[in-house]
Amino acid sequence: MKSQRSNRRKFLRNSSFGLLGAGLLGKKSFATPFHEQDDELPRIKEYRTLGRTGFKVSDISTGSVNQSTILKALLKSGVNYIDTSEIYSNGNLEARIGKSIKEFDRKSLFITTKIWIGQGDKSKEYILDRFRKSLDRLQTDYIDCYMIQAASSSEVVINENFHSAISQLKSEGRVRFCGISCHGESWKGKPKESMEKVLMTAVEDGRFDVLLLVYNFFQQDMGERILKACKEKNIGTTIMKSNPMFDYSQLKDLITELEQKGEEISNFERWALDGLKVSADKADSLIKEQNIKSDDELFRDIAIPFVLSNSNVNTVIIGFTNFDNLKHHLKFSGQTLTNLGEKRLIKYKELFGQFHCRHACGICEDSCPNNIPVNTIMRYNYYYTLKGEEKSAMQKYKILHGGKPDACIECEGFCEKACPYGVLTRPLLAVAHHNLSFDNPLYT
């Protein structure tokens, strides 16, 4: 099965729709020398005030960067907000950033790093120790914003060990501001709080200066309410997962693979195939009818301008993997959604709305009798398919608490009945397991 998974990855990387939202590779990428790229790079055109911090932040900022030359190019292009974490690449990303910023004016940059404190059971001493290790790797005297990473409950938001550590670090001049991020709750049982509930608690708490949240054209409602509340409280807003794309080519590949099994197909595979094929055939019909030839014609230029059209957004965090990816995304600085873009967005929703599970939503999970952490499984599949973090996503999935999609076989679809967006939740869970499982690609 590993060879099938490998072949599928090759298919995705060479497929037009497989590159939706991931940035298209051109002739220049990792191998192109930095000095040859410099004159061709677009520049940041707009800066927005990051809430009460008062810092003028580039409207497009950087998250994961796999090469120092790319990060330096971003900074030379005017990007001045860097988002990282101690857990990204096991601290190696912080170390890469520390080496890369040496030739730049430190005061011109805003650096945010994060600590994961679980359910808030970490001591103040633990938090201080982790912070100092991050500071050493970043090779700087201070960090602009220190964040709680992936807060999963309001209890974590008000954790006094974290806030006591922040107070001490501020008094020492090591931290200027504090923040919090949320992907929704990673539930072990019945869900308790949504991303909106967790981050609204942070807004009302009053001690957080910057929030990192999910917001895109598929995931609007919660995000817009959070952004509005932040504006009223003068809290800085940074956006992750601005691109809600999924891998349509992967679904098509899986459908073909299952169809070719013929009589050897299992009951669960047949069920997953039947759930996907009707909607996929409809999407294919519309693609053919409207002569949509590539992702560029349909969606490629919509995601970032949509987010930047919201004046309550301060900056969009993007992961950059190569120079073509950099040039493509930076050109959207200062842009908002056009009328044509709005029409394309509507068409995209019509084509693919049923195939996209909204990150950080979790609305359906309370209805699941098997306690399946739908939000978390779909997020891991996002890391697998679009961020290229296959190994990490599979490892996370292997140890994930809660039910797994095999429980969906006999279920009547409580999640799909509860979903206000009409998502094909159970078949998509089957696809996620197909990607993330170390064992059989689909249940037999």
The reported pTM is: 0.83
* Domain residue limits at 421: 248-298+362-436
Give the amino acid at 328: H
- Strand, helix or coil for residue 429: helix
- Same structural domain, 381 and 256: yes
- Same structural domain, 79 and 177: yes
Angle at Cα 66 formed by Cα 63 and Cα 67, nearest 5°? 115
At 85 the pLDDT is 97
Alpha-carbon distance 198 to 152, whole Å? 7
C-alpha distances out from residue 390 to 9, 246, 387, 434, Å: 10, 15, 8, 12
**Does residue 8 form part of some domain?**
no
Exposed e or buried b for every residue in 340-356, given b needs 16+ CB within 10 A?
ebeebbeebeebbebbb
**Does residue 420 form part of some domain?**
yes
**Does residue 350 form part of some domain?**
no
- Same structural domain, 124 and 253: no
Virtual torsion, Cα 336, 337, 338, 344, nearest 10 deg: 160
Residue 442, token pair as written in the block: 């689909």
Exposed e or buried b for every residue in 365-375, given b needs 16+ CB within 10 A?
bebbeeebbbb
Alpha-carbon distance 246 to 356, whole Å? 7
Decide: 77 and 41 in contact? Cβ < 8 Å: yes
**Does residue 92 form part of some domain?**
yes
The residues facing 147 across adjacent strands are: 114, 179
Task: Give the residue from 163, 113, 117 showing the smallest Cα distance to 142.
Answer: 113
**Does residue 212 form part of some domain?**
yes
- Same structural domain, 200 and 267: no
- Same structural domain, 264 and 320: no
- Same structural domain, 317 and 287: no
At 5 the pLDDT is 47
- Same structural domain, 62 and 203: yes
At 252 the pLDDT is 82
- Same structural domain, 96 and 75: yes
Helix (H) or strand (E) holding 232: helix 221-233
- Strand, helix or coil for residue 177: strand
Task: Give the residue from 434, 363, 438, 380 showing the smallest Cα distance to 405.
Answer: 434
- Same structural domain, 293 and 312: no
Alpha-carbon distance 151 to 174, whole Å? 22
| CA 10 remoteness from chain centre | 22
Query: Based on the structure, what is the number of domains in the chain?
Result: 2
Decide: 243 and 57 in contact? Cβ < 8 Å: no
Which of 330, 349, 373 corresponds to the end of one domain? 330
The CA radius of gyration of the chain, in Å to the nearest whole number, is 22
Neighbours of 310 (CB within 10 A): 18
- Strand, helix or coil for residue 147: strand
Domain of 130: which CATH number?
3.20.20.100
The residues facing 61 across adjacent strands are: 317
**Does residue 259 form part of some domain?**
yes
**Does residue 443 form part of some domain?**
no
The residues facing 82 across adjacent strands are: 62, 111
Alpha-carbon distance 71 to 102, whole Å? 12
Per-residue pLDDT of the chain (444 residues; tens, 9 = 90+): 444 444 444 433 333 333 333 332 333 333 344 444 456 789 999 999 999 999 999 999 999 898 999 999 999 999 999 999 999 988 999 999 999 999 999 999 999 999 999 877 899 999 999 999 999 999 999 999 999 999 989 999 999 999 999 999 999 999 999 999 998 765 445 556 889 999 999 999 999 999 999 999 888 989 999 999 999 999 999 999 898 766 677 778 888 888 898 888 877 777 778 878 888 888 888 777 766 655 544 566 788 999 999 999 999 999 898 898 899 899 999 999 988 788 878 877 777 888 888 877 888 888 999 889 898 898 888 888 877 788 889 998 998 888 888 788 778 899 999 999 899 898 889 888 888 987 655 544
Decide: 326 and 24 in contact? Cβ < 8 Å: no
- Same structural domain, 94 and 105: yes
Residue 64 neighbours by CB under 8 Å, 6+ apart: 88, 93, 319, 320, 387
- Same structural domain, 112 and 255: no
Give the amino acid at 411: C
- Same structural domain, 177 and 316: yes
Residue 74, token pair as written in the block: 């971003």
Residue with tokens 């060990």: 161
Alpha-carbon distance 5 to 48, whole Å? 43
Q: What is the DSSP letter of 202?
A: H
**Does residue 11 form part of some domain?**
no
